[in-house]
Structure 1
Amino acid sequence: MTDTIAAVCARRVWDSRGLPTIEVEVRTSSGARGQGIAPAGASTGRREARELRDGGDRLGGCDVIRAVELAISVVGPRITGIDVHDQEAVDAILARMGPEVGGNTTTAASLAVLHAAGASRGIPAWAVLDAAPRWMPRPQIQIIGGGAHAAHRTAVQDFMVLPLSPTRIADAFFEVAEVYRAVGAVLAERGPRRGVADEGGHWPEVTGTEDALDLLVAGIERAGLVPGVDMAISLDIAATQFASADGYGVGDRSYDTADWIAELDRLCRAYPISTIEDPAGEDDARGMRRAVATLGDTAVVVGDDYLVTDADRIEAAARDEAVQAALIKVNQVGTVTGAARAVAAARANDLSVIVSARSGETEDVSVAHLATGWGADIVKVGSITRGERTAKWNELIRIDEALGGLPLAPAP
């Protein structure tokens, strides 16, 4: 059935870092409504779709009043009258407008159209993408924050866990929660706890990467689980954050590319690490290829800043054997359709798919629907002690129940 977009409104709302962001609401001729809120990253690739921020003194230049105005005055008129079920047509218009209105504006609008299309048909957003998913994505959850998420207290950005033995997503979340609590108990025995990082992981009261890894292993064991059997470790290196023309600077040490990848290989062989994200910088193609050649037998090499949810870059990286998995973030490319093409490119090249939230998030649960509807292998949503994160956890549990209980995707 045809149900055209009848109205578009927008507003300034707030994300988990206390910064403004944009929410777009789409209303259709049948009365259906859908909302989408743009997330924002702290560690961002230079090839990502650019946000539109106001600049100036207000809120450190991060206000979005101009983006809200453009969503109403420019985006609304250009997509009004289009069938809400024709996501590709809407997103083609949004993509052309991206440089004018900002990737945050197009992201919020595109997500709003997806949710409105579901509401128009009386189905959830995941079912718009795939009415019969085969599995639920396996959750990848931060336990210790670092890098840009925690004032660069550690070079590595995310110390995460990946449940291996659970077969249902609710059980996977339960085991992650046990590990989170156990790591907190170990930290409390060391001294005062310092709160949480941007994505809800423990603040990194550690002396360095290996201390954090030892802490994770201790937490897994204290929770009664076997490291590498029941629970694996995943790392987001976010190497662009400490890359330079001369190599990689970590603390008081400097590495050339070969030595840096060798150091990561040593860690992957010493600890039960299953995935390692952005081991080399966004412009270090040689380093990414070396990472796959060196680490690929022990840990899956994931591209994030290196790929920026770009289908062409994913295809090229697959040909070059520079990645084994693609991280997917809608706001990196600016539209649902653009991200769907990136997923298709990954699948066509036998790469694993990880759908990810960002460090600046809201109660918007789109990532849970996208990960399910796209059949992602892994969903990366952040830790358990922030409401914008548990909103995604809880939505994934509801989706699984609505589907009658699906198996988790195979572990990497």
Structure 2
Amino acid sequence: MSMIDAVHAREILDSRGNPTVEAEVALISGETGRAAVPSGASTGEHEAIELRDGDKKRYGGKGVRQAVKNINNIIAKDIEGLDALDQAEIDAALIALDGTKNKSKLGANALLAVSLATARAAATYVGLPLYRYLGGANARVLPMPLMNILNGGAHADNNIDFQEFMVVPVGADSFREALRTGAEIFHSLRAVLKKRGYATGVGDEGGFAPNLRSNEEAIETILEAIINAGFDAGRDCMLALDPAASEFYENGSYVFKKSDGRKLSSEEMVQYWKSWSEQYPIISIEDGMAEGDWNGWKLMTDEMGSRVQLVGDDLFVTNTEFLQRGINEGCANSILIKVNQIGTLTETLDCIELARTNGRTAIISHRSGETEDTFIADLAVATNAGQIKTGSLSRTDRIAKYNQLLRIEEDLRGAGRFPGRSAFYQISQPAQDAAASNGRNQKKARAAKNK
């Protein structure tokens, strides 16, 4: 029987040493599923509410014992006896039980833990891998990894304004080769930083977090690492950014308060990104404008949306209401998908489907506070999303997802497909070629400088 027999939750620690929720769902037949919930450092204003205890004497107020109690004492009683194979029914019951728009009563962390654990239990019950259970027979696309190898912003205690600098191995012909490319560049970057006398400690997501002279130096250092690793910047590997602009948006201006203190208007911020995209081999920019700056987003999309993937994270918070507004107003051409921003699996899948039917890419993403849970790896393949963000090439909480994707690729054998450049299907091939040529131009300029 696939009916839910018991639900149990506990408080565990995430990758930053902060408490988070883990839930287990047991079926009458004996199968179980377990899931742990991540949490973010830079969060969107409209994200579903993560319930914290607020007791400053315990974990600095970040305990989740109340969320755990909500699962064990309230949610468990409500969903025991329901069919785990009916994910939509389970999630609808969770949403109704909470009764708030932002899941603030029981906590999105409580609801999500149960939602994901239920899916795992159901997959075990039917004897299928999680990705196959969620996605069906057509789940076969391995995602292009966007690997965050240099951290700044809210993810690191350094002087870099922008949160994530990523490498994207567009020239790889398999996920395994893409992972190798990223790993070799990561180690090359360590060597470059050491040679320049910079620290090689890592940030929350496993990327290096040095104090550089400028935001531009972050890009140039990564390009040097790509070349030193034996890859062609632009052809083999491109760049992606997550500036997390909401974090440095103050009173209608973008303020580079961690670096040179400059203050830019929305129009100037768009021109800044446009200049970077014309100078460097950049294929994707996430949260290049602040979440409340819809006019800025519209301007950026009009100026750059035909040749750069423009990803809304804080702008959309994995919520169909905000995504639909973005579609209607022509803001962004891609969405970042974070399961804990919305709080249930069904709502997450609905958001991915809305993006796809409107010609927008969906990138499955981790959070800065992660666990060893690998659910998002399976979710990326299940939905044929084509892209994933799950950190750098260090820290087991990040590597766990990459290793799960290696297992899935092996399991798929010849049926699996790695998208390569087609992962960015909303960007035309000529536009991608133009961005790639920026990498070659940078290489020539570097060679001339070193003569």
Please tell me the TM-score bracket, short chain as reference: over 0.9
Aligned twin of 2:363: 354
What's 1:288 paired with?
297
Two-structure CA RMSD over aligned residues (Å): 1.1
2-structure distance, mates of 1:383, 1:192: 18
Q: TM-score, normalised by structure 2?
A: 0.89
Q: How many residues align?
A: 411
2:313 is matched with: 304
Partner in structure 2 of residue 408 of structure 1: 418
Q: Is residue 206 of structure 1 aligned with residue 212 of structure 2? A: yes
Residues 287, 314 of structure 2: 8 Å contact kept = yes
Contact 1:142 1:199 in 2 (8 A): yes
Show structure 1 runs of 4+ deviating over 2 A.
Answer: none
1:152-231 equivalence runs, <5 A:
153-231=159-237
Q: 1:8 maps to which residue?
A: 7
Instruction: Name the counterpart of 1:126.
Output: 131
| C-alpha contact (below 8 Å) 1:194/1:205 kept by paired residues | no
Q: Is the 8 A contact 1:24 1:109 kept in 2?
A: yes
What is the match of residue 149 of structure 1?
155
Please show how residues 22-41 of structure 1 align to structure 2 within 5 Å. Answer: 22-41=21-40
Range 332-341 or range 201-210, more displaced: 201-210
**What amino acid sits opposite 1:88 in the alignment?**
A
SS of the residue 2:347 aligns to: helix
The counterpart of 1:344, out of the listed 321, 339, 353, is: 353
Residue number in structure 2 paired with 1:389: 398
What displacement does 1:152 show?
5.5
Query: Residue type matched to 2:53 in 1?
Result: D
Q: Distance in 2 between matches of 1:157 and 1:294?
A: 23
2:136 counterpart SS class: coil
Contact 1:3 1:83 in 2 (8 A): yes
SS in 2 for 1:217: helix
Q: Alpha-carbon deviation of 1:119? A: 0.7
Q: Which runs of 5+ in 2 are unaligned?
A: 425-451
The 1:304–1:152 alpha-carbon spacing in structure 2 relative to 1, beyond 3 Å, is: farther
Which residue matches 1:82? 82
Shift of 1:192: 4.6
Aligned to 1:92: 92
Q: Does 1:116 align with 2:114?
A: no
Letter in 1 for 2:92: A
Give the 3-state SS of the residue equivalent to 1:91 in structure 2: helix
CA contact (8 A) 1:187 1:205 kept: no
SS class of match (1:54) = coil
Post-superposition Cα deviations, 1:350-401, rounded to whole Å, max 9, x if no partner, equal 0011000000000000010111101112010001110000000000000111
Structure-1 separation of matches of 2:86 and 2:179 = 35
**Cα distance in 2 between the residues matched to 1:282 and 1:246:** 12
- Paired residue secondary structure (2:413): coil
Q: What is the CA-CA distance between 1:125 and the residue it aligns to?
A: 1.3
Using the alignment, how far apart are the partners of 1:203 and 1:3 within structure 2?
47
Quick check: 2:201–2:210 contact (8 Å CA) kept in 1?
no
Cα distance in 2 between the residues matched to 1:287 and 1:117: 44
Contact 1:269 1:298 in 2 (8 A): no
Q: Indicate the residue corresponding to 2:62 in structure 1.
A: 62
Q: What amino acid is aligned across from residue 203 of structure 1 in structure 2? A: A
Find the residue that maps to 1:131 and give its secondary structure: helix
Contact 1:53-1:67 at 8 Å conserved across structures: yes
Determine helix, strand or coil for the equivalent of 1:384.
Answer: coil
Task: Please say which of residues 289-298 and 26-35 is displaced more in the overlay.
Answer: 289-298
One-letter identity of the residue aligned with 1:273: I
Take 2:55 and 2:64, find their aligned partners in 1: how far apart are those partners? 11
- Aligned-residue offset at 1:93: 1.7
Q: Give the structure 2 partner of residue 19 of structure 1.
A: 18
The whole-number CA distance in structure 2 between the counterparts of 1:95 and 1:238 is 29
How far apart, CA to CA, are the structure 1 residues paired with 2:211 and 2:141?
37
Distance 2:268 2:85 in 1: 51
**Contact 1:304-1:327 within 8 A present in 2 as well:** yes
Q: Contact between 1:204 and 1:212, CA under 8 Å: does it hold in 2?
A: no
In structure 1, distance between residues paired with 2:67 and 2:122: 23
- Maintained 8 Å contact 1:91/1:337: yes
* Percent of residue pairs identical: 38
Contact 2:203–2:209 (Cα < 8 Å) also in 1: yes
